[in-house]
Structure 1
Amino acid sequence: MPFPKICGTLSCASVIFLLTSNSWIIGEQPYPASPLVEGIRFDWTTHRRAAQGSDNFQLTWSDDDHLYGAWGDGGGFGGSNSKGRVGLGVARVEGSAKDHRGVNLWGGAASKRDATFDGKSWGMIGIANKLHMWVVPDKPPGKTYRNHYEMIELASSGDYGLSWNKAPWRFSASDDLTIPTFLNFGRGNEGVPDAFGDYVYTYFIRPRNAQMEQEGGNGVGLIVHQPGALYLARVTPDQLRSGRDCFEFFAGFDQDDQPRWDSIDRKRPVFRDAEGVGWCVSACYHPGLHRVLLCTEHGESKAGMLGIFDAPTPWGPWTTVEYYTQSMPFGAQREGSRWPWKNKVFFMAFVTKWFDGHEFTATFTGAGLGKDNDSFNTVSGRFLLRKE
């Protein structure tokens, strides 16, 4: 199913063929193959698991050289699905990719501070000596049930995750926006290319419809949103907390094929996938490849059906690095991993601190009610580049 011209390129659906024991299965990628990265090779002997019962953990690299990230519905490092359980917690991850340890800061087992509000986060960024995270609610005000889709708030910390305060404004589902993530760069958010400008970038998922709820009367659960689309917004670092009107949204391209930026009501999708986009997304910039890397689900949630895409700019043009399918989900082949596994992964992110040339260490997490991939998982690998 071809798409029209998006992000300055004709995004003809590329077809991948997966050989099974019975037949050839055809699956469609939303964008052509990456001209730079042929694929990814994971080294599953490096698979580590911690914080069993806690999920999410999108990490940002702060100026103090530590990593910080939020988890949901568990006790974090040293906790379990019940021990130290909080709806939203924040941890610090110290050390190298091969030798790291987690410390609970805000909520969780033996944490340094108690968590002061609930919710979930799949987007955190460190800018200079401040941390910021997008937060969606567990139970919105006036509701007795969960609805992550209802609104989006920004929480910030000036003491490296020990305390958090929310900005007095929010985005909402009525804006046709839901569960966002930040585009992460280097240490303290350094290394933003000049061509991108002095901005903080955020990708927002377009909800299937603005009235949908996670639970309640028309509850649909946490789903892949179809037809899938992502919006992109930017704001200068000094105005990040100033108000929603300070955000400019991608609004298509001008006659010179340059991105236009406009108000929220003039936004246009910056990414599309007819198979949908997940209820969570991750995005980062690889300084060696000079590419933005974006990960999200498609087709079905909590089934390892991840897509990994790359682009030279935050607004594209997008190409496909990997597109995992129902027949060949993420982690289907993992020789060397000693951990139990059920195919329920829904989130993966690359860690900018742990890029080493073409090698990387990624985090991933999944469903499992306190078991298997409902945890903090890391695995190292290598980007396989195309031969000239």
Structure 2
Amino acid sequence: MTAEPTPTAAPVAARLSFLDRLLAVWILLAMGLGLGLGRLVPGLGDALAKVSVTGVSLPIALGLLVMMYPVLAKVRYDRLDSVTRDRRLLVPSLAVNWLLGPAVMFALAWIFLPDLPEYRTGLIIVGLARCIAMVVLWNDLAGGDREAAAVLVALNSAFQVLAFSALGWFYLRVLPGWLGLEQTTLDISVWEIARSVLLFLGIPLVAGFATRRIGEKAKGRAWYETELIPRIGPFALYGLLFTIVVLFALQGDAITSRPLDVARIALPLLVYFALVWAGSMALGKAAGLDHPRATTLAFTAAGNNFELAIAVAIATFGATSGQALAGVVGPLIEVPVLIGLVHVALAARRYFPGSEPVRAPAAAAEEKGSAHV
């Protein structure tokens, strides 16, 4: 019997469901709808922002919870020990997330925005807020290792609580002082950061773990994988699209009224995502990781926790500040760029010999009776 050849990008794309194949289109439409609503409906942004949780609009918080729950319900928690023993994954992830990532964003912010201190500070804050939310969905769509993503997101959460304030002090006050640059003060408590982590990771993680534990115990793993997961899986994408609509409705006026400022903020963000994602993917391959874990390393390194960044900017500098606008532009650039990188990651399988075929989550959800990847 001959080994089945490693699939190319074309057959992988052909197996994508209609929803997955056009996901970039749905995201762009959701962004456009949100921006349009924010501009055309007077007072909508204020109404959406009135009720907030840890500084984040309640509708956005609900959308993120709906988005993350199905992905975390798919995690095989009995396999996590194999991830925690993989130093080839854990060490590079921590190094890129907490040493390289913030340093790259600091450098790009000063290179591209030396004359715009508010936007520059906002970008540095975005670089300090390592991703714990949307990355689980990008990783899932790109065929990444779901269990590895759960472990790395949990590690990022712990480091975020412990290191965010200290890194903010270092990159906004200490390092600029050493370099003779303008200094900024960031006043944010550890408890405020912990609340954000507990909300956006803790709740869906506990819910996902409980769903798998109870579901498998009641009806078995085969039923859980082939019956329940396909039913709840699509809600991750629905939650993503809803979150995008609300997010851009909140800031539609600010974004559309200052297009040149948005463009200047967007440029270093584009460079950041390209550099960190591609560098992390290459690092994973050089470290001998397989495609799923290299993909997980790349997405967990390149993504940022825009919920926390926006909340910190608003709490410290005000909702109408340049720092807050920079935080909002973050997902405006990150969302379409990372969905594009999902397709790049799928195509990159050819450079990882021995990778098994991967099916996109939504495609597998449409095929009852088959295991959900």
Structure with the bigger percentage of strand: 1
Per the TM superposition, whether the score is higher than 0.5 is: no
TM-score with structure 1 setting the length: 0.24
TM-score by length of 2: 0.24
Bigger fraction of residues in helix: 2
Q: Which has the higher contact order (CA 8 A, sep 6+)?
A: 2
